[in-house]
Amino acid sequence: MFSEQLVDLSRLQFAVTAMYHFLFVPLTIGMTWILVIMEAVYVMTGNQIYKDMTRFWGKLFGINFALGVTTGITMEFQFGTNWAYYSHYVGDIFGAPLAIEGLMAFFLESTFIGLFFFGWDRLSRRQHLLVTILMAVGTNLSALWILIANGWMQNPVGAEFSYVTMRMEMVDFWAVLFNADAQAKFVHTVSAGYVTGAMFVLSISAFYLLRGRDVEFAKKSFRIAAAFGFASICSVIVLGDESGYTVGEAQQTKLAAMEAMWETEPAPAGFNLIAIPNEAEMKNDFAIEIPWVMGIIGTRSLDKQIPGIKEIREKNRERILSGMEGVTALEALRKDPADAAMKARFEEHKADLGFGLLLKKYVADVRQSTPEIIEKAVADTIPRVTPLFWSFRIMVAFGFLMLGLFGAALVYSLKGNFADKPWLLRSALWMLPVPWLSCELGWFVAEYGRQPWTIYGVLPTHMSVSTLSVNSLYGSLAGFIGFYTVLLVVEMYLMVKFAKLGPGSLGTGRYDNEYAHA
């Protein structure tokens, strides 16, 4: 099998490149709709300032978008370069949404983004608005398809293993498409993107207002961001990922781990507001519990139980023992496909095949698994609780913090006196990084919480990588970190420069700071 070092480095490289990519994606997703709103107001009212808003915020959007594209290509390469066995094993299902994403979404987004920037003088107002809308639709559709792919990793429906082709094969495309997990993820993730876009516009507009420059421009931008942001943060919280956590076992395991629920409590379970999880003894050394809340948000009911970690472990032990039989039968079938007895045995244990593969981390021939090895594999089935517990809580706390900010911003927008509230403007400015932190924490919970699997219950992470040398991984990881650091410095430099220049950078002669760049 693969060395632990190779697996860890492959994971690290994926985590670095994916989380870096996701610095740019949410802003792109959110900004597209904000641009649509601004331009729609321009088309409806004919007020020039809304066109300038679309163009100026579009300029900042473009600086961000360039890095989103750059780092996005990495993601598509990386399944093949670093996760070759994964690509073979589940490409039949996982590859399809990626290809459809290209055909249906990326082409749309990328073709119309060109016209968005270059088409102002060549298109009628309505045509240009249509271009902006299509760009936004394309961007959001790409989020849909990638989350269908990711949702399948969490809850692999609509597919079956074939011992002839030695891989998972699609049996029901609609099940993959309408995977409840994917739908919940989509709503939650794009809403988080909308919040990010809104915060970006809100913060920078607040900055202009605090400086007393481009006041009309900033006020109009602030109002749009406040309204859009408030609606979006409500969507993130209410239609949160939580609704997906009852779907499938992966999510149940994740839920138990991120809530530090060691025992199965009678329904409705309590919610650990704060706890100090003790992983070794499988208990919480300290916890402040709010009764009922977990059961209600987790199951949307008062009588359904949520399984605790200890119960899940016991179930997994059964599945590992069954999976051991499945792997043994599979390996025999690969040598002699005609062996009917083996085939029957394989079919019987097929559902637990992935759990049998967990043993391969410790032993090549799973029949030689000792009780200690089985115990290790059982322990592996639960991700580490402490990082998940805290990441989730910080993300949620940030969510409510932003709800407060956008709520206040909206109330004072409606009253029309937000520009006279320096505390509000300063809060908006200082909270700029919060949506990014929340998004990254959210991804961490989603992906780290699925460990030890790449595809829950189907393919363990330690079997998913490419047969590469550890040195190759050190080299490529260093290359990515080097490139990405330089690119981030360049991007931040330009972003800060143009945010500071403000709408004057358009060179229209209508704004403050008009000649600063000359």
Partner 1 sequence: MLDYPTLKIIWWLLVGVLLIGFAIMDGHDMGVGTLLPFVGKNDVERRVVINTVGPHWDGNQVWFITGGGAIFAAWPLVYATAFSGFYWAMLAVLWALFFRPVGFDYRSKIANATWRNTWDWGLFVGGAVPPLIFGVAFGNLFQGVPFSFADNLMSTYSGSFWGLLNPFALLCGVVSTAMITFHGAIYLMHRTDDAVYRRSRTAMLIFGGLLLVSFTAAGIWLWQGIEGYAITSTVTPGALPNPLDKTVVREAGAWLANYDRHPATMLLPVLAYAGALTAMLLAANGATLAAFVASSLAILGIIGTAGVSLFPFIMPSSSDLRSSLTVWDSVSSQLTLNIMLWATLIFMPLIIVYTSWAYKVMAGKVTAAYIRENEHAAY
Long-range pairs, 299-302, Cβ under 8 A, ≥24? 299/246, 299/267, 299/268, 300/243, 300/246, 301/267, 301/268, 302/267, 302/268
- Contact between 466 and partner 1 by CB under 8 A: the answer reads yes
Which region, judged by CB under 8 A, interacts with partner 1, from 274-282, 401-409, 420-428, 479-487? 479-487
Residues 6+ apart with CB under 8 A from 25: 68, 72, 143, 193
Nearest residue (CB) to partner 1, 102 versus 452: 102
- Contact between 178 and partner 1 by CB under 8 A: the answer reads no
Among 94, 194, 271, 412, binds partner 1 (CB under 8 A): 94
CB of 384 to partner 1, least distance (A): 28
Q: Measured in whole angstroms, how far is the alpha carbon of residue 301 from the centre of its chain? A: 27
Q: Is 166 helix (H, G, I), strand (E, B) or coil?
A: coil
Among 9, 35, 53, 93, binds partner 1 (CB under 8 A): 93
How far apart are the C-alpha atoms of 180 and 249, rounded to whole Å?
Answer: 13
Helix, strand, coil percentages, rounded to 5, for the chain? 75, 5, 20
- Contact between 264 and partner 1 by CB under 8 A: the answer reads no
What Cα–Cα distance (Å) separates residue 173 from each residue in 143, 159, 510, 516?
18, 8, 54, 56
Q: Of 191, 218, 217, which Cα lies nearest the Cα of 203? A: 218
CB of 67 to partner 1, least distance (A): 7
- Contact between 63 and partner 1 by CB under 8 A: the answer reads yes
Report the site for partner 1 in 185-224 (rule: CB under 8 A). Answer: none
Nearest residue (CB) to partner 1, 63 versus 195: 63
Structure-token pair, residue 482: 């080097």
Report the site for partner 1 in 73-92 (rule: CB under 8 A). Answer: 73-74, 76-77, 79-82, 84-88, 91-92
Residues 6+ apart with CB under 8 A from 164: 337
Structure-token pair, residue 5: 């070092």
Nearest residue (CB) to partner 1, 160 versus 420: 160
Among 305, 386, 472, 513, binds partner 1 (CB under 8 A): 472
CB of 328 to partner 1, least distance (A): 13
Among 66, 234, 267, 332, binds partner 1 (CB under 8 A): 66
How far apart are the C-alpha atoms of 420 and 278, rounded to whole Å?
Answer: 49
CB 34 within 8 A of CB 224: yes
CB of 129 to partner 1, least distance (A): 14
Which region, judged by CB under 8 A, interacts with partner 1, from 166-174, 267-275, 384-392, 426-434? 166-174
- Contact between 332 and partner 1 by CB under 8 A: the answer reads no
Report the site for partner 1 in 116-155 (rule: CB under 8 A). Answer: 117-120, 122-123, 134
CB of 436 to partner 1, least distance (A): 20
Residue type, 119: G
- Contact between 170 and partner 1 by CB under 8 A: the answer reads yes
Nearest residue (CB) to partner 1, 19 versus 429: 19
Report the site for partner 1 in 4-33 (rule: CB under 8 A). Answer: none
How far apart are the C-alpha atoms of 138 and 112, rounded to whole Å?
Answer: 9
CB of 308 to partner 1, least distance (A): 35
Structure-token pair, residue 287: 């916890």
CB of 81 to partner 1, least distance (A): 5
